[in-house]
């Protein structure tokens, strides 16, 4: 027998011990469940590239949220799918009174006042160009876009949103939104800044869900280069200074180092967006029998906690909650 002063395996000897010494845990409190709303009634349309995830009309959405809440999930983030006919170059539909998205937000808050409802602020669901800002001569205009985004944020706050989520990556938008919210009296409406949002191929399935892919080019002049991490600190310093309440890293799984960097350098909560392509990869491999989907899902999610995420936006939220509730 070896005489060893340390046998790290002793702390792994039984399930009880392993759980006792676990450094990180997942809880339903960590999750925000992203959901998709579309026009019509009685609709529940599965996203081709996201098995198990659906677009709902407002009536079926409210029924589904009952089930989400029954799973113990306390927050959702809503994204709209609009038909091409409602899109234009300045995203007018985004701030039209009575538009589907704003109606959905207020109905959700009416029916589920305790639910923390997060929004999306960006032009892409409403833009005939499929970009997050206003396009002119093939360029995405920053300051002109921020003007619209600010109006969108205020409209969403009026509709009852708890957390405003600017996902557009225009410069200066967090400060401009904060100022406008305060001026309108929404001092308690929170901002979760998409601080380090990368120009990622992992958003593909989401763009299927919204039918919002860019009509030309890509998003590299506003979303970050996957090669960079120091640049995430620059973005975080700005979002912090401009008044963000929570800093987000997106995508999550290929960017765990970025999550850790923000967590180590800032005293704000950090959220991780476990994006559509990350969900799709696990689903596809599991459907092929190549990996154990449940185990891979839980491992992916705990890796985000380990990296330092306090909050996880994930299409897995409901499935993961079901497993956590069983345990
Ligand atoms: C766009 C937006 C995107 C996502 C959320 N908001 C995609 C994009 O930037 O093109 C992606 C979410 C996901 O992939 O799950 N404002």
Question: For position 117, which CATH number holds?
Answer: 3.20.20.70
- In order of 79, 177, 213, the CA distances from 152 in angstroms are 13, 9, 20
Residue 8 covered by a domain: no
Atom of ligand 1 nearest to the CA of 197: 9
Q: Single out the residue of 314, 195, 201 nearest to residue 259, CA to CA.
A: 195
* Mutation test residue for ligand 1: of 55, 118, 124, the one with most atoms within 8 Å of CB: 124
| Residue range(s) defining the domain that contains residue 100 | 25-326
Atom of ligand 1 nearest to the CA of 120: 6
Atom of ligand 1 nearest to the CA of 34: 15
Burial zone of 50 (CB within 10 Å; 0-12 exposed, 13-18 middle, 19+ buried): buried
Mean residue pLDDT across the chain? 97
Residue 9 covered by a domain: no
Q: How far apart are CA 280 and CA 274, in angstroms?
A: 11
Q: What is the pLDDT along the chain (327 residues), one digit of tens a residue?
A: 999 999 999 999 999 999 999 999 999 999 999 999 999 999 999 999 999 999 999 999 999 999 999 999 999 999 999 999 999 999 999 999 999 999 999 999 999 999 999 999 999 999 999 999 999 999 999 999 999 999 999 999 999 999 999 999 999 999 999 999 999 999 999 999 999 999 999 999 999 999 999 999 999 999 999 999 999 999 999 999 999 999 999 999 999 999 999 999 999 999 999 999 999 999 999 999 999 999 999 999 999 999 999 999 999 999 999 999 997
Cα of 251 from ligand 1 centre, angstroms: 9
Ligand 1 site residues, Cβ closer than 6 angstroms? 120, 122, 124, 132, 167-168, 203, 206-207, 219, 275-276
Tally of structural domains, the chain:
1
Output the residue whose Cα is nearest ligand 1's atom 14: 203
Radius of gyration in angstroms for the set of CA atoms belonging to the chain, rounded to a whole number: 20
Q: Tens of pLDDT along 15-32?
A: 999 999 999 999 999 999
Output the residue whose Cα is nearest ligand 1's atom 2: 167
Burial zone of 21 (CB within 10 Å; 0-12 exposed, 13-18 middle, 19+ buried): exposed
Residue 203 covered by a domain: yes
CB-CB contact of 23 with 319 (8 Å): no
Residue 3 covered by a domain: no
Residue 99 covered by a domain: yes
In this structure, what token pair is assigned to residue 207? 């763009």
pTM of the model: 0.97
């Amino acid at each position: 027998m070896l005489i060893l002063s340390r046998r790290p395996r002793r702390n792994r000897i039984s399930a009880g011990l392993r759980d006792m010494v676990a450094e990180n845990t997942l809880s339903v409190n960590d999750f925000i469940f992203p959901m998709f709303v579309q026009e019509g009634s009685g609709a529940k349309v599965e996203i081709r590239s996201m098995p198990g995830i659906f677009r709902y009309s407002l009536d079926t959405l409210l029924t589904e949220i009952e089930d989400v809440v029954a799973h113990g999930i306390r927050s959702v983030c809503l994204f709209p799918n609009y038909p091409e006919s409602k899109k234009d170059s300045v995203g007018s539909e985004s701030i039209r009174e009575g538009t589907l998205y704003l109606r959905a937000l207020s109905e959700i808050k009416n029916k589920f006042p305790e639910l923390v409802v997060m929004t999306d602020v960006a032009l892409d669901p409403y833009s005939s160009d499929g970009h997050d800002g206003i396009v002119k001569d093939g360029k995405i205009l920053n300051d002109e876009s921020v003007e619209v985004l600010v109006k969108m944020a205020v409209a969403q706050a009026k509709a009852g949103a708890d957390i405003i989520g600017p996902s557009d990556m225009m410069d200066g938008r967090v400060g401009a939104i904060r100022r406008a919210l305060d001026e309108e009296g929404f001092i308690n409406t929170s901002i979760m800044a998409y601080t380090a949002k990368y120009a990622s191929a992992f958003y593909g399935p989401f763009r299927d869900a919204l039918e919002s892919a860019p009509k030309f080019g890509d998003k590299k002049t506003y979303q970050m280069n996957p090669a960079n991490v120091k640049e995430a600190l620059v973005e975080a310093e700005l979002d912090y200074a401009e008044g963000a309440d929570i800093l987000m890293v997106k995508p999550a799984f290929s960017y765990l180092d970025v999550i850790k960097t923000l967590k180590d350098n800032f005293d704000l909560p950090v959220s991780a967006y476990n994006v559509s392509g990350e969900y799709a990869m696990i689903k596809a491999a599991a459907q092929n029998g190549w990996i154990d989907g449940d185990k891979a899902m839980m491992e992916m999610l705990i890796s985000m906690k380990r990296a330092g995420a306090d909050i996880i936006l994930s299409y897995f939220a409901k499935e993961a909650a079901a497993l956590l509730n069983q345990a």
